[in-house]
Amino acid sequence: MIRVGIIGATGYAGGELVRLLMNHKEAEIKWYGSRSYIDKKYYEVYQNFFQIVDDVCMDDNMEALANEVDVIFTATPQGLCASLVNEDILNKVKIVDLSADFRIKDVATYEKWYGIEHKSPQFIEEAVYGLCEINREDIKKARLIANPGCYPTCSTLSIYPLAKEGLIDMNTVIIDAKSGTSGAGRGAKVDNLYCEVNENIKAYGVASHRHTPEIEEQLSYASGEQVLLNFTPHLVPMNRGILITAYATLKKDVTYEEVKAVYDKYYANEKFVRVLDKDVCPQTKWVEGSNYVDVNFKIDPRTKRIIMMGAMDNLVKGAAGQAVQNMNLMFGLKESEGLELVPMFP
């Protein structure tokens, strides 16, 4: 049985980790870390766990936690994991960090976009970017995982096959993204109040969203060239879900069958990436509560562009589900253990 500790267990991603791990046959949660709710019973924070989780919340002492568990999930704001991790801890325990601390390989880029000093840059090169469908073999050998962001996961998986095969002009990529409000976290913010969000949709982080360099970096690896792109996220009045619509110019004329074969080349054997049937557009309601990413594409011969689409649950595949998927790979378990979730509807 894998002993699990969670730092940041009372945020939305942390709560989703608890929900998933409660049904994991090979894992047991030993530590519910939450700086805000120390000594408070976990179910008093999330009443859905009443008579399911009776443990009390503890602090974020990573040094003590490393002696008690096999893996630590850090579902915390940017900067915390980097400020706590050290070589002694990594020699004792594996870490899956759900923040952005180790996702971007260039320290200056991280510090520019996140506005904070990186506290442990010596571990950036070692950290493996935990997009399982692309970095599976490296993840299996890792002791530190940078769990990808929600927008980058959906964006990268939607575009990756065409970028990898060189079918699109990477200088023309534009990504339009929509997310439910849980993506903004559980902290109290005026912009996330019911009256601000309900019956409303808005762009935010225009030309400045922090996930932009992460998406650019991953698509640069895929295409083998430096990628600069426009990424514009929007907040929509729903709890969960991400929808990506990306546009790019095709380098040559292609048929539907040719492009479908490219997607199938990369995803036909992937449990959690579903390439939809022709002309079926991804929808967030068909992936809600699950670890699936639905992707598809549409060729526009009139403009010689291709539209790439993806939908997923931002708290599952976009955060906690992907983190559990990474843990499964790190410990040699069945990759889908604890994640065999049929999407919820309605």
Categorize the per-residue pLDDT at 186 as very low, low, confident or very high, splitting at 50, 70 and 90: confident
Q: Is residue 293 within 8 Å of residue 272, measured between CB atoms?
A: yes
Instruction: Please check whether residue 134 lies inside any domain of the structure.
Output: no
171 and 241 housed in the same domain: yes
Q: Which domain holds residue 226?
A: 151-313
Instruction: Please check whether residue 336 lies inside any domain of the structure.
Output: no
- The arithmetic mean of pLDDT across residues 150-174, rounded, is 98
**Quick one: pLDDT at residue 187?**
82
Q: DSSP letters along 153-214, please?
A: HHHHHHHHHHHHTT-B-GGG-EEEEEE-GGGG-SS--GGGSHHHHTT--EE-STTT-TTHHH
171 and 27 housed in the same domain: no
> Which residue, of 93, 126, 159, is where some domain finishes?
126
- The arithmetic mean of pLDDT across residues 166-194, rounded, is 93
**Quick one: pLDDT at residue 10?**
97
Q: Is residue 317 within 8 Å of residue 293, measured between CB atoms?
A: yes
Residue 210 has pLDDT above 90, yes or no: yes
188 versus 11: the higher-pLDDT residue is 11
199 and 102 housed in the same domain: no
Residue 174 has pLDDT above 90, yes or no: yes
183 and 286 housed in the same domain: yes
Instruction: Please check whether residue 333 lies inside any domain of the structure.
Output: no
- The arithmetic mean of pLDDT across residues 173-187, rounded, is 93
The rounded mean pLDDT for the chain is 97
Residue 191 has pLDDT above 90, yes or no: no
Alpha helices in the chain (DSSP H): 12-21, 42-45, 62-65, 80-84, 87-90, 107-114, 132-140, 150-164, 194-197, 212-223, 256-267, 321-330
113 and 157 housed in the same domain: no
Give the whole-angstrom CA distance, residue 141 versus residue 120: 21
**Quick one: pLDDT at residue 189?**
86
Residue 185 has pLDDT above 90, yes or no: no
**Quick one: pLDDT at residue 188?**
79
Q: Is 150 a catalytic residue?
A: yes
Active-site option among 57, 81, 150, 154: 150
175 and 90 housed in the same domain: no
Instruction: Please check whether residue 89 lies inside any domain of the structure.
Output: yes
Give the whole-angstrom CA distance, residue 227 versus residue 218: 9
Residue 216 has pLDDT above 90, yes or no: yes
308 and 238 housed in the same domain: yes
Residue 58 has pLDDT above 90, yes or no: yes
**Quick one: pLDDT at residue 61?**
93
H or E element, residue 94 = strand 94-97
93 and 155 housed in the same domain: no
Residue 325 has pLDDT above 90, yes or no: yes
Percent pLDDT > 70 in the chain is 100
pLDDT digits (tens, 9 = 90+) for 31-52: 999 999 999 999 999 999 999 9
Instruction: Please check whether residue 346 lies inside any domain of the structure.
Output: no
228 and 274 housed in the same domain: yes
In angstroms, the Cα distances linking 82 to 99, 170, 273, 294, 301 are 9, 32, 31, 32, 47
CATH of the domain at 116: 3.40.50.720
**Quick one: pLDDT at residue 44?**
97
Instruction: Please check whether residue 318 lies inside any domain of the structure.
Output: no
Instruction: Please check whether residue 56 lies inside any domain of the structure.
Output: yes
Domain tally, the chain: 2
160 and 122 housed in the same domain: no
Give the whole-angstrom CA distance, residue 294 versus residue 309: 8
Token pair of 209, please? 């969203």
Phi, psi (rounded to 5 degrees) for 229: -145, 165
pLDDT digits (tens, 9 = 90+) for 110-148: 999 999 999 999 999 999 999 999 999 999 999 999 999
250 and 122 housed in the same domain: no
DSSP 8-state assignment for residue 331: T
CATH of the domain at 257: 3.30.360.10
Instruction: Please check whether residue 131 lies inside any domain of the structure.
Output: no
DSSP 8-state assignment for residue 123: G
Residue 252 has pLDDT above 90, yes or no: yes
306 and 187 housed in the same domain: yes
